[in-house]
Chain A
């Protein structure tokens, strides 16, 4: 009895203390600490400013959680697949024709070949978690580590699709490639020079003779837009299947040409196995269709009609965009 009466004022005092306290709520479990450390990410030289949403600032904890989720099959309902199962680092985070490489997506606002997801990286990752993987959140909640790691990243107990997407987006933002031979040459790094063939290819690429740059130009080597590149006389739906607009039939996302040497086969359906086949297509294989992009200026001639030397030079230049420091970067490798 005595102990009961002593308990009541003690409980009231505790309630009062909690109610009056302006300190953060105590950690939900022993040893959980929310102390986010800002992640100072430096984009490669000449890259545009990285757009980081104010409600998802990059932190060491958030990036690390995103990296773990990227490589852990825990997002799959049966634990069968992870992001990294199809996005292999050694080939610039792709694995086949339907799999767009994960590279420099921090500067993208449209995702997937047909533009099914548009908006922020967070929205794209939400699609991946919720719609693509159909993640079973209970699996994450039951995991021995993830509840704590989510708390340490976001300061709130509970695992949601949105928090998983935010973590993945933070990791995606550090997946930046800008250290190819081409990058080193434009930075005028000592001892780095393009060969004659590579310079010729560069000049072809950035002139209207080759005319690659209108879609694949700029430091990102993609305009992040959608085009019908005259691949077929009767094109697939592409973006048109998403928007319902007849003017979008045959439009697909412009892939970046960074690491293009590593990311074959090419086109949205992987119909070309080699860069030689791709260049042959742009040289002699274009098809007219009502939605063929006006930027495909050589459609009436069937293509650019490049010489063998021009084709060879162009491919030599494309290979200067290979960045092996990206495909071997330990910060992007599996944490397991």
Chain B
């Protein structure tokens, strides 16, 4: 008993320090929100995208140049193994001629172990209405004003193709959007290679769009078949929608 009293006292004295240590460590380890930078990059069949000066081969046999690429991605969601989703309901405009549009900053991402990310290529029914996006000159220039339709272009992918490889050059305009009550947006699901535990700090997720995939997987898109005017051509829109499922891949998921 004589030995236990001092031990008890020592324990009492040590308790506040232990508590301090406990809470101190807990605070240090307390999970924090993260900032995630979503970056949008582009290739053509594994080659670097260079506007105007490179002829790329296509599955349909017509080499093509890219002159312009503008599009919306929206409704981002990080997912975990339990199927829970953390969403960012926002439309991001990307124009390869405007480097400042490469990155969308996503703040306040809660701590968690995420297994993948998904988004909508284009705009969903809620956003894709006249006036559905903020009234900026950029969004106005993406309007889809066909009489009877509404909303915005999802994508303007424009360029030139060589008809027979002998210098007969024609323009193409892959303009996608909703027409005739067909929404035509694409749901993109990109599982991570392994679960990623985010708990504070800044992260980057880099998407890579392979423009060739619009023209070859699973369907071969031939510029000659559909011609340069496809906005009201649902057959062309449907084909591009189905090809759109594979155009994006993940190139990087890492802490910055």
Pick the residue among A206, A217, A293 that contacts B141 (CB under 8 A).
A217
Q: Does B104 contact A (CB under 8 A)?
A: no
- CB closest chain-B residue, reference A298: B228
Bound: A295/B156 CA distance, A: 10
A236–chain B nearest beta-carbon distance, Å? 18
Within 8 A of A (CB), among B142-172: 143, 145-147, 158-160, 169-172
A144–chain B nearest beta-carbon distance, Å? 41
Across the interface, do B135 and A247 meet the contact criterion of CB distance under 8 Å? Answer: no
For B67, list chain A residues within 8 Å (CB): 293-294
Q: Does A223 contact B (CB under 8 A)?
A: yes
Across the interface, do A207 and B147 meet the contact criterion of CB distance under 8 Å? Answer: yes
Bound: A220/B67 CA distance, A: 24
Bound: A299/B141 CA distance, A: 22
Across the interface, do A107 and B137 meet the contact criterion of CB distance under 8 Å? Answer: yes
Bound: A219/B136 CA distance, A: 11
- CB closest chain-A residue, reference B156: A214
Within 8 A of B (CB), among A281-329: 288, 292-297, 299-300
For B137, list chain A residues within 8 Å (CB): 48, 107, 218, 220, 224
Bound: A292/B146 CA distance, A: 24
Across the interface, do A294 and B229 meet the contact criterion of CB distance under 8 Å? Answer: no
For A49, list chain B residues within 8 Å (CB): 135-136
Across the interface, do B169 and A288 meet the contact criterion of CB distance under 8 Å? Answer: yes
For A208, list chain B residues within 8 Å (CB): 146, 229, 231-232
Across the interface, do B135 and A46 meet the contact criterion of CB distance under 8 Å? Answer: yes
For B256, list chain A residues within 8 Å (CB): none
Across the interface, do A294 and B159 meet the contact criterion of CB distance under 8 Å? Answer: yes
A301–chain B nearest beta-carbon distance, Å? 10
Q: A206-B147, A217-B143, A220-B140 are in contact. Are A297 and B228 (CB under 8 A)?
A: yes
Q: Does B53 contact A (CB under 8 A)?
A: yes
Bound: A97/B197 CA distance, A: 62
Q: Does A203 contact B (CB under 8 A)?
A: yes
Q: A297-B173, A300-B170 are in contact. Are A218 and B141 (CB under 8 A)?
A: yes
For A223, list chain B residues within 8 Å (CB): 141
A205-216 CB contact bits vs B (8 Å, 1 = yes)? 011110101000
Within 8 A of A (CB), among B193-228: 228
A211–chain B nearest beta-carbon distance, Å? 7
Across the interface, do B147 and A203 meet the contact criterion of CB distance under 8 Å? Answer: yes
Interface size on B, residues (CB 8 A): 26
Bound: A292/B170 CA distance, A: 10
Across the interface, do A295 and B173 meet the contact criterion of CB distance under 8 Å? Answer: yes
For A300, list chain B residues within 8 Å (CB): 170-171
- CB closest chain-A residue, reference B66: A294
B193–chain A nearest beta-carbon distance, Å? 37
Bound: A46/B145 CA distance, A: 15
Pick the residue among A202, A218, A294 that contacts B68 (CB under 8 A).
A294
A226–chain B nearest beta-carbon distance, Å? 11
Within 8 A of A (CB), among B67-111: 67-68
Q: Does B52 contact A (CB under 8 A)?
A: yes
For B228, list chain A residues within 8 Å (CB): 294, 297
Bound: A224/B141 CA distance, A: 9
Across the interface, do A207 and B52 meet the contact criterion of CB distance under 8 Å? Answer: no
Across the interface, do A295 and B51 meet the contact criterion of CB distance under 8 Å? Answer: no
For B145, list chain A residues within 8 Å (CB): 206, 213, 217
For A209, list chain B residues within 8 Å (CB): 229
For B68, list chain A residues within 8 Å (CB): 294
A172-203 CB contact bits vs B (8 Å, 1 = yes)? 00000000000000000000000000000011
Across the interface, do B51 and A247 meet the contact criterion of CB distance under 8 Å? Answer: yes
Pick the residue among B143, B147, B172, B229 that contacts A211 (CB under 8 A).
B229
Bound: A56/B137 CA distance, A: 21
Bound: A213/B113 CA distance, A: 46
Across the interface, do B143 and A218 meet the contact criterion of CB distance under 8 Å? Answer: yes
Across the interface, do B171 and A299 meet the contact criterion of CB distance under 8 Å? Answer: yes
Across the interface, do A48 and B229 meet the contact criterion of CB distance under 8 Å? Answer: no
Q: A211-B229, A247-B53 are in contact. Are A295 and B171 (CB under 8 A)?
A: yes
B140–chain A nearest beta-carbon distance, Å? 4
For A46, list chain B residues within 8 Å (CB): 135
> Can you give 23 A-B contacts (C-beta < 8 A)?
A47-B135, A48-B136, A206-B147, A207-B146, A208-B146, A209-B229, A217-B140, A217-B141, A217-B143, A217-B145, A218-B141, A219-B140, A220-B137, A220-B140, A224-B137, A225-B141, A247-B51, A292-B171, A293-B171, A294-B68, A294-B160, A295-B173, A297-B228
In the complex, given contacts A107-B137, A217-B143, A294-B159, what are 7 additional A-B residue pairs having Cβ atoms less than 8 angstroms apart? A48-B140, A218-B140, A219-B140, A247-B53, A288-B169, A296-B171, A300-B171
Give A contacts to B, CB under 8 Å: 46-49, 107, 202-203, 206-209, 211, 213, 217-220, 223-225, 247, 288, 292-297, 299-300
The 7 residue pairs across chains A and B that have the minimum distance between CB atoms? A297-B228, A294-B171, A218-B140, A208-B229, A294-B158, A206-B145, A247-B52
